[in-house]
């Protein structure tokens, strides 16, 4: 009898365990079909992408298609700006304001123009981006481009790690020089409207730079100029284009072809008292001349410069060379190569 009772008891426990297992299995099976709860500890608002937004009301055709602000406090990339904030001027960290800064902390505003028919442009822009990444901040890279060509470049610019503004325009040009000047005016209008305080220089995508050059130009108070080595592989030509200096004072200008004379020997016959035009890659200036001319000894009743800012800056530089600072101090080093 004892063995029979034990057998019944073991059978009962086995059935009980089997029922419990079956219940747990069924509950787990149907729980998998239940909808997940939408309640979370943190609620994130969906980010709305900002596409083509106006950069300034100066020119209705000018557009900023991207404005990356990497490593700038209290700022946002254009792709994550809250709705309605796309037209806000750049934050003070980017260079706005009138507080004097030490030269080492001056904002560099590097303006680069583009050409639609340049098949090497993407490679040149990426190479220049790698150079600018090595320059100590603050630095703002302003890239200007025809609207039709802008999307591919915008994708590339987002990956550079350089703080930039990408400006576009809608006009069509047949003259490359006129198009380049228009692009420079678009960039300067953007700088003027947002009052970006810093040192402006025009850097062609194909230019090559000595990194020490960027430290030197932060010393510019009003206007600065330097010698550019102009090289052409097709014509097998090399030339020097820029100032001759005593200390930092500009005493003359030189445009000397070195194709046949590689001694870099400059004589008095090579000097010009005033150049007809300064190489666009060979000068920089304090951006406040665009909106605060009185500070630099200019009359306040200036004609409207917004349509041709680059001509205005060029004329101001040439009319009074005493305001020019030679870079470096004695203009003895080549630090910019124009290809």
Asked if 64 and 53 touch (Cβ cutoff 8 Å), the reply is: yes
Mean predicted lDDT score pLDDT of the chain: 76
E-strand ranges in the chain read 53-54, 63-66, 108-112, 139-146, 164-169, 199-202, 208-209, 223-226, 228-232, 237-246, 249-257, 271-272, 283-286, 324-327, 336-338
Task: Please check whether residue 152 is in contact with residue 243, taking contact to mean a CB–CB distance below 8 angstroms.
Answer: no
Per-residue pLDDT, averaged over 240-251, amounts to 89
Residue 5 pLDDT class (50, 70, 90 cuts): low
Worst-scoring range by mean pLDDT, 78-87, 103-112, 117-126, 218-227? 78-87
165 has pLDDT over 80: yes
Query: Given pLDDT bands bounded at 50, 70 and 90, which one contains residue 60?
Result: very low
Residue with tokens 């666009």: 280
What pLDDT does 313 receive?
85
pLDDT at 72 over 90: no
Q: Residue 68: pLDDT band by 50, 70, 90 thresholds?
A: very low
The 3-state secondary structure of 163-189 reads CEEEEEECCCCCCHHHHHHHHHHHHHH
**Cα separation of 292 and 148, whole Å?**
34
Distance CA 295, CA 98 (A): 12
How many CB atoms are closer than 10 A to CB 223? 24
3-class DSSP state for residue 244?
strand
CB count in 10 Å sphere of residue 162: 22
**CB-based contact 265:288 (threshold 8 Å):** no
């Amino acid at each position: 009898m004892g063995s029979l009772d034990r057998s019944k008891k073991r059978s009962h426990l086995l059935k009980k365990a089997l029922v419990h297992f079956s219940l747990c299995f069924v509950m787990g099976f149907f729980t998998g079909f239940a909808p997940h709860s939408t309640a979370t500890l943190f609620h994130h608002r969906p980010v709305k992408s900002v596409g083509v937004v106006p950069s300034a009301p100066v020119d209705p055709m000018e557009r900023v298609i991207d404005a990356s602000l990497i490593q700038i406090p209290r700022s946002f990339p254009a792709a994550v700006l809250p709705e309605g904030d796309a037209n806000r001027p750049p934050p003070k960290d980017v260079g706005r304001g009138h507080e004097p800064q030490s030269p080492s902390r001056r904002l560099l505003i590097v303006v680069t123009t583009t050409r639609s028919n340049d098949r090497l442009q993407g490679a040149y822009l990426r190479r220049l981006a790698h150079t600018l990444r090595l320059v100590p901040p603050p630095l703002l890279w302003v890239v200007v481009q025809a609207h039709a060509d802008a999307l591919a470049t915008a994708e590339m610019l987002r990956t550079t790690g350089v703080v930039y503004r990408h400006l576009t325009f809608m006009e069509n040009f047949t003259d490359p020089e006129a198009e380049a000047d228009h692009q420079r005016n678009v960039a300067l209008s953007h700088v003027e409207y947002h009052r970006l305080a810093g040192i402006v220089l025009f850097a062609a995508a194909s230019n090559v730079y000595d990194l020490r050059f960027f430290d030197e130009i932060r010393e510019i108070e009003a206007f600065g100029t330097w010698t550019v080595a102009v090289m052409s592989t097709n014509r097998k030509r090399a030339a020097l284009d820029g100032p001759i200096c005593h200390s930092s004072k500009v005493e003359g200008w030189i445009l000397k072809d070195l194709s046949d004379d590689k001694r870099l020997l400059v004589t008095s016959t090579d000097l010009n008292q005033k150049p007809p035009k300064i190489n666009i890659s060979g000068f920089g200036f304090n951006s406040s001349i665009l909106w605060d001319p009185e500070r630099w000894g200019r009359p306040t009743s200036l004609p409207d410069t917004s349509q041709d800012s680059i001509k205005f800056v060029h004329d101001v530089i040439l009319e009074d060379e005493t305001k020019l600072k030679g870079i470096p101090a004695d203009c003895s080093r080549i630090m910019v190569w124009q290809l």
